[in-house]
Amino acid sequence: MVLLESILMGTTIAIGGGSLLYYYQNELLYPAKYRKKSREFIVPKFSDEEIPYTEVILTTKDKVRIRAFLCKRKNDEEACQRPTVLALHGNRGNIGKQSSIARNFYQNLKCNIMLLSYRGYGSSDGIPSEEGIKIDAQTALDYIKQHPILHGTKLILYGSSLGGAVAIDLAAKNEDEVDALIVENTFLIKYITFICTQIWPSDEQIKKIKKIPILFLSGKLDALVSQQQMKELYELSNTLAGKEWKEFPYGNHGNTITQPCYWNVIEEFLLWAIFDKNNKKEMNNQ
């Protein structure tokens, strides 16, 4: 009887938990609605003299207005010769929290960079969802590829956490348009897809990428997204353009970007991935 009661209690808890996950997965995965700082429109913490930027308002194919900041090299001739980064943020942020990313890509690596706020984040309209965010990312990529100065530049996708899943999906669908992919502390939902409508099948999409070099950045102390998920993505990747793994021993889900040599690793990756396409390789840096 005790065993039966334990089984019934466990089953009830499992069903209840599964029901909560099913009905509230959007709120759990995209908490911007409940996090004031994610919904606020925060101007990047740099001046126009430091990093010139323009606010861009885009209308998606499903008629949602989303916002982005475009930081283009001051000189048009330089801008068209340098790579362009499309930065895709995590599920708790928005473009106002990406100042350090913009600063490093723009000032140190001399890239153009576009910072995108998904629908429902920052001052972008709409309600976040997997399908909607995919549309937002595609809209931003299309904008860059149609830009009068940036259309011919090398395109780098950079995404952390949720942004990594967005970047993987976008790269898989635009192999001829994307020149490099960088993902940091990205998750897999495949183990609970039977009760999820927000799938983000990165494990399937990563296998479709054949022509794009990929850099995997992983914080070993990540307690939110286990490092095993990143390792699995790395192993599933079979790109012919080369892939690189970099582990940060003291990095967690939120501070990996602040770890020593983080930006040096990205710079070295871009040197061979963007500027030396003939030097395809696989690196495993612990």
What Å distances lie between residue 25 and 147, 191, 196, 214, CA to CA? 36, 14, 7, 29
Model confidence at 98, in pLDDT bands (50, 70, 90)?
confident
Catalytic residue among 89, 136, 222, 237: 222
| 99 among known catalytic residues | no
Alpha-helical segments (H) within 57-208: 76-79, 99-103, 130-146, 162-173, 202-208
| 253 among known catalytic residues | yes
- 28-32, 51-55, 170-174: range with highest mean pLDDT: 170-174
Q: How far is CA 187 from the centre of its chain?
A: 11
**Rounded average pLDDT over 124-143:** 97
Give the pLDDT confidence score for residue 276 in this predicted structure. Answer: 78
The beta strand positions in the chain, using DSSP E, are: 54-59, 65-71, 84-88, 112-117, 155-160, 180-184, 214-219, 243-248, 282-285
Give the pLDDT confidence score for residue 4 in this predicted structure. Answer: 35
202, pLDDT greater than 80 = yes
Neighbour count for residue 65 (Cβ, 10 Å): 13
CA distance 238 to 240: 6
Residue 215 near residue 273, CB atoms below 8 Å: yes
Which carries the bigger pLDDT value, residue 48 or residue 67? 67
Lowest mean per-residue pLDDT among 69-78, 125-134, 175-184, 218-227: 218-227
Question: CATH number of the domain at 2-285, please?
Answer: 3.40.50.1820
Model confidence at 42, in pLDDT bands (50, 70, 90)?
low
Closest CA to 216 of 276, 256, 275: 256
Give the pLDDT confidence score for residue 95 in this predicted structure. Answer: 77
What Å distances lie between residue 135 and 32, 90, 127, 214, CA to CA? 18, 16, 12, 22
pLDDT tens across 59-75, in order? Answer: 999 999 999 999 999 99
Catalytic residue among 38, 117, 124, 161: 161
| 161 among known catalytic residues | yes
Closest CA to 93 of 131, 139, 39, 134: 39
Give the pLDDT confidence score for residue 108 in this predicted structure. Answer: 96
CA distance 161 to 183: 8
Residues in a beta bridge with 70: 54, 114
284, pLDDT greater than 70 = no
Catalytic residue among 99, 100, 125, 253: 253
Neighbour count for residue 282 (Cβ, 10 Å): 11
| Percentage of the chain modeled with pLDDT above 70 | 76
- The rounded mean pLDDT for the chain is 84
Instruction: Indicate the pTM of the whole model.
Output: 0.85
CA distance 108 to 36: 31
Residue 39 near residue 33, CB atoms below 8 Å: yes
Q: Which two tokens stand for residue 281?
A: 């390789």
